[in-house]
Amino acid sequence: MRSISRFRKTTLVTSSVLCAGLVLSACGESEEKKDSGKAKSEATVTVATAKGDLDVPVKPAKVAALDNTSFATLKAFGVKPVAVPKALLPKEGFEDWQNDSSIKDIGTHREPKFEALNAAEPDVIIGGYRFSDHHDKLAKIATTVDVSPSDEAKDGYVNALKTQTQELGKIFGQEAKAKEIVGALDKAEKDAAAATKGESVFLAVASAGKIDNGASRIGRLSQPLNLKNVLSAEGEDSTSVHNDSGLAPETVAKLNPDWVIMLDRDAAVGTEDGSEAVAAKKIVDGMEAWDKTTFRKQDQVIYLASDFYVTEGAQAYTDAFNQVATAFTAAG
């Protein structure tokens, strides 16, 4: 009886040890998986930003997209953001972001909704450009990346778009797609430069039913081209096109530019007072003072895409350069 008792005790102890070993083994395996997953999620890449080099999580799961110049590139990368400034979304091409209630609306750069952004719990915020003044507040919510283009960039705004695209490609593991986007921009820029031969151009903006000098905003477009601006941005205090400088149509007529490149601000964001926007072409066609100008007589007015004012990214400039190349080549 005693031997049987001892056998039972030995069996129980052995079984207990085996069970404990299995549990510990399972726990160890579980911990290894956790650690492995954790290590994967904490992988970072160093990105050159407006604030200096920054270690950014690779392929972040939850992204807040605030810089409108990055929207088309992020969409091309297959990124679905958790938060965006919906008022800055283009009217076409982003209906899925606009209508998706799971994507939080964080207001605009003028009145950002930081609480909504915080509630979205982003891993990474793509900031800068219109939201550059809010960088410090954004950085308290999550890693904030400012790779937005700038007129002050070493090689100019257009080249800054290429750098932006490449840096975003590194973050999202989309280097090949980024190279494709930059390649298309390079080609369009070179084609436009080759098609322009020193012609004079008025860079215009249509806003509130008037035509004004838009050189402070779209001078970026003509910078790499062989064009001569009849009005510079000198004396304008920013890249804003909200103000009425009082430019008279007769002044433009006297300068008699060969071409006009037009940014229609109201087509993108509407009028300040909520009234119905007047199309830029209708304003241009109605200017009697321009009846004898070269650009009117030869129909040499290029109207940028209606959403250009709220895109301004690599794809928008690719399209604009292609417009220039096509129009100038056709004109001979």
Whether residue 163 sits in one domain with residue 116:
yes
Among 30-44, 258-272, 298-312, the range scoring the smallest mean pLDDT is 30-44
CA distances from 77 to 40, 157, 166, 175, 206 (A): 20, 22, 12, 10, 33
In a domain, 9, yes or no: no
CB contact at 8 A, 228 and 201: yes
Whether residue 327 sits in one domain with residue 220:
yes
Q: Is the pLDDT of residue 19 over 80?
A: no
Whether residue 125 sits in one domain with residue 78:
yes
Q: Is the pLDDT of residue 315 over 80?
A: yes
CB contact at 8 A, 145 and 127: yes
In a domain, 289, yes or no: yes
pLDDT tens-digit map of 226-240 = 999 999 876 555 444
In a domain, 17, yes or no: no
CB contact at 8 A, 203 and 219: yes
Residue 243, pLDDT score: 55
Q: How many domains does the chain have?
A: 2
CA distances from 299 to 255, 286, 295 (A): 17, 14, 6
Residue 273, pLDDT score: 62
Residue 266, pLDDT score: 85
- Cα 199 to the chain's mean position, in Å? 30
In a domain, 169, yes or no: yes
CA distances from 171 to 64, 77, 133, 312 (A): 14, 11, 23, 21
CATH code, domain carrying 234 = 3.40.50.1980
Whether residue 297 sits in one domain with residue 158:
no
Q: Is the pLDDT of residue 279 over 80?
A: yes
Q: Is the pLDDT of residue 32 over 70?
A: no
In a domain, 127, yes or no: yes
Whether residue 238 sits in one domain with residue 211:
yes
In a domain, 135, yes or no: yes
Residue 7, pLDDT score: 38
**What's the domain range around 149?**
44-174
Whether residue 201 sits in one domain with residue 109:
no
Whether residue 269 sits in one domain with residue 194:
yes
Q: Which of 32-41, 146-155, 166-175 has the highest mean pLDDT?
A: 166-175
Give 274's pLDDT tier (boundaries 50, 70, 90).
Answer: low
Give the residue from 55, 28, 88 showing the smallest Cα distance to 313.
Answer: 88
Whether residue 192 sits in one domain with residue 151:
no
In a domain, 11, yes or no: no
φ, ψ of residue 206 to 5 degrees: the values are -100, 125
Residue 235, pLDDT score: 54
Mean per-residue pLDDT of the chain: 87
In a domain, 136, yes or no: yes
CB contact at 8 A, 204 and 212: yes
Q: How many whole angstroms separate alpha carbon 37 and alpha carbon 195?
A: 53
Q: How many whole angstroms separate alpha carbon 64 and alpha carbon 94?
A: 15
Three-state secondary structure string covering the chain = CHHHHHHHHHHHHHHHHHHHHHHHHHHHHHHHHHHHHHHHHCCEEEEEECCEEEEEECCCCCEEECCHHHHHHHHHCCCCCCEECHHHCCCCCCHHHHHCCCCEECECCCCECHHHHHHCCCCEEECCHHHHHHHHHHHCCCEEECCCCCCCCCCCHHHHHHHHHHHHHHHCCCHHHHHHHHHHHHHHHHHHHHHCCCEEEEEEEEECCEEEECHHHHHHHHCCCCEEECCCCCCCCCCCCCCCCCCCHHHHHHHCCCEEEEEEHHHHHCCCCCCCCCCHHHHHHCCHHHCCCHHHHCCCEEECCCCHHHHCCHHHHHHHHHHHHHHHHHHC
Whether residue 198 sits in one domain with residue 166:
no
Boundary residue ending a domain (174, 194, 218): 174
- Kindly state the tokens that stand for 59: 């392929």
Percentage of the chain modeled with pLDDT above 90:
76
